[in-house]
Structure 1
Amino acid sequence: MRVIQLITGLGGGGAENLVYNLTKMNLQDKDVEFSVVYMTDKDKLKPRFEEMGVAPVSLGITSKGSFVSGLKKYYRILKNNKGAVVHAHLFHTLLISCLMQPLVPHKVVFTLHSDFVKKRARRYILFFTRFLRSADVIFSAKSKQWYQKSDAVVIANGIDLSQYNHAHNKPEVFSCLFLGRLEEPKNPMYLVELVNKLKDKHKFKIVVVGEGNMRQPLEELIAKESLQDYFEFLGFRQDIPQIMANVSCLITPSLWEGMPISLLEAGACGVPILTTPVGSIPIFLNNETAYLTELPDFHLSLQHIIENYNEALDKAAKFKNEVFEKFDINKCYQNYKAMYYKVIK
């Protein structure tokens, strides 16, 4: 069986890392053959694929002018891989798969990677294209939305636990890690408000790992508020386990989410987690294993963690046990493999 992992780009977000880890697992599987196709020219993760002998193919869609040529390239890929299952990740990949259906009929598995779609038009597109999809993947039963297939398959995310064997070191200065795309769903601009509310109470810093279109506005706001000493920008990084091992906690003030890989990464490292209770997060985390707090009280929870860090470490230890028990990428891969076989029957 052949499976085309189709994703918007290889920019290093949670969806991209899931595709990477699934592909890595697939190299040990003689029954299923993966190929990786991405729409745009964002390719920060491409070298990691190439290091393990996988050559991702870009459709080169970077503007309206290159859209048609990208579709033609995708058409040729589908023609050369007749019978393959296309696993479309994120909204835009679904659009081009739907456009290709009349020309090259194929099975489509779709993962939205979010429990919330902001634009109404997109929600209706998802609803009216349900018949073109063989399966929808969601992260928890409670996260299913009206625009998804009624028999959506629940598959939780997973991570390569063998990479998370670093001892957790308590840094000299309390360090809060913000890990993710610097874009609206992740709510990075809130970090300035957070610092302003706590800077007179505690000594701490925020380590920002990730890139996105809100990095420049964020840095400009930090400069305007004269808060440069409270922030450290590391950009896009691939050594997340090592970074996790040297921070005090993970903060996730997201406006909406699916099931963030970063929470599993923090859990695997025994790092305390402070997050908003959005998306599927409350399905996998609770107040016994993390701090789930709405934005108005987010700063109070961070203050509590700083002042009661041993309590936070105890919660983190409980979640670490759960991560190693439930969220191994091997289990995740086997669940996807079973679903791929099911849709081609």
Structure 2
Amino acid sequence: MHGRPSILHIVGDSRFGGGTLVIAQLGRAAAALGWQPYVLTTDAEAKAYYHERGISVLAEDVVRRSIHPLRDAAGLFRLVRILREHRFDAVHTHTSKGGMVGRLAACLARTPIIVHTVHGFAFHEQSGWFARTAYSALERLASHWCDAIVCVSQFHARLALQLGIGNSAKVFAIPNGVEALPKFSNDSAARTRLALRVPPETTLLFSMGRLAPQKGFPWLIDAVAILRKTCARPVELAIAGEGPLSDELREYARARGIREHVHFLGFRRDIAELLAASDIVVLPSLWEGLSIALLEAMRAGRPIVSTTIESNLEVAGHGEVALLVPPKDAEALAGAVVRLLEDSGLRTRLADEAQRVLAEHYSEDRVVAAYRDLYAQLSRKRSGLSCAPGRVHAVPKGGYQ
């Protein structure tokens, strides 16, 4: 049905977010091989973003984040029909829910190549024994329905192998990356702060992410309440993002007496400008795959406070890129912010090191090249898809380090 090889990306939650940025990078990887990338989404912001980058969209609502057995079963069979109708040469699934439903549908539709990217398992560092056992069993089952499992951090690749989710021939680590951006002027940062109504003498903390339990925002709000009482300079917080805890977090800030000092910005496309306008970025996540928000803050050259979750420690293993504190610890978050405010040399050193580490290990070009090589390797195994001449490279055994 397609004039050239085609690949469809299936996501469990197709709304605009970090996954959208990653899929756009994978669109570049597919295009480098002469393939046409498609994405299954109905989100208006995501659709516009993909269209700007030459990625085709199938506006079908078949896979949602929440679990609903009857709806999910209907979505599975509908997805099988879509795959058979369009006859995609490859399917690339994302997130736990999208990976489970999408891989099974692609298997039933006999799609030649099936790839799954683990942006973070359904179980995580905060999960109990039962959740870890149940979800890892499901992941082991689904691992038989695909040709490759890509993890966005070395930590998750090691964890997959430890739990028997795939094997060393199937599991790869391709860490996330972000594109390079020009630096913003001081005037641009001042205009952004003015739009937020944050005076120059106020310390502006910035955070971003889905307003969901994973991101740890209640502890950040607690930290701001502490800082408002203890810092000589006024402190305000801006949070960019939407999610199920939106109303609850606003009420929590009100209960802590700092509602007027916490700016809930909702969905924003100007993240780079907001980062440039901030003084310190605070990312209090309880778990992550490999945080795009962290990489974007590193790219912006902002001093960062984050948590000692495994994927953050992996990034920090390349150099001192942030002050890391235990998750769920508002006092530690506040203490790290104070330490940065009192030490300009530390702020500069962290920002410079973060930009160095990002350029060496987490660039978008590195991600695109790695996925391009993986797609090429899988297409050669299937021997039915063509690749652009001179662009085929072998994937190192065991994935990218």
Contact 1:258 1:281 in 2 (8 A): no
User: Which residue in the other structure is 1:85 paired with?
Assistant: 90
Please state how far the C-alpha of 1:69 moved relative to its aligned partner. Answer: 5.0
State the shift of 1:79 in Å.
1.6
Letter in 2 for 1:290: A
8 A contact 2:96–2:121 mirrored in 1: no
Query: Conserved in 1, the CA contact under 8 Å of 2:13 and 2:98?
Result: no
The alpha-carbon distance between structure 1 residues 164 and 136, as it changes in their structure 2 partners (threshold 3 A), is farther
- The equivalent of 1:316 in structure 2 is 351
Using the alignment, how far apart are the partners of 2:108 and 2:261 within structure 1?
Answer: 54
Higher mean Cα deviation, 314-323 or 46-55? Answer: 46-55
Pairing 1:337–2:341 present: no
Partner of 2:286: 255
Q: Could you tell me the TM-score, scaled by structure 1's length?
A: 0.90
Provide Cα deviations, 1:173-199, integer angstroms capped at 9, x if missing partner. 211111100101111121221122222
Task: For residue 206 of structure 1, report the CA deviation from its aligned partner.
Answer: 0.9
* Paired position in structure 1 for 2:20: 16
Provide, for residues 184-228 of structure 1, a one-character-per-residue CA deviation record: whole Å limited to 9, x for no partner.
111112122112222211221111000000111010111122212
Change (3 A) 1:43 1:66: farther
Greater shift in the superposed pair: 87-96 or 10-19: 10-19
In 2, distance between residues paired with 1:83 and 1:115? 26
Q: Which residue in the other structure is 1:177 paired with? A: 206
Distance in 2 between the 1:270 and 1:160 partners? Answer: 14
Contact between 2:30 and 2:372, CA under 8 Å: does it hold in 1? no
Identity of aligned residues (%): 22
What is the aligned residue count?
341
TM-aligned CA deviation for residue 90 of structure 1: 0.1
Q: Verify the 8 A CA contact 1:127 1:148 in the aligned structure 2.
A: yes
Pairing 1:1-345 to 2, within 5 Å after superposition: 1-23=5-27, 25-26=28-29, 29=32, 31-38=34-41, 41-61=42-62, 66-67=71-72, 70-82=75-87, 84-101=89-106, 103-106=108-111, 107-114=113-120, 117=123, 118=127, 119-120=131-132, 121-143=134-156, 144-145=158-159, 146-151=163-168, 152-161=171-180, 163-167=181-185, 171-202=200-231, 203-286=234-317, 288-295=320-327, 296=329, 297-344=332-379, 345=381
SS in 2 for 1:199: helix
Displacement of 1:116: 6.3
Work out which of the two has the higher radius of gyration on C-alpha atoms and give 1 or 2. Answer: 2
Backbone CA RMSD of aligned residues: 2.4
Question: Structure 2 counterpart of 1:260, which letter?
Answer: S
Q: Which moved more, 1:125-134 or 1:231-240?
A: 125-134
TM-score w.r.t. the length of structure 2 is 0.78
Q: Which amino acid aligns with 2:96?
A: F
Gap runs ≥5 in structure 1 = none
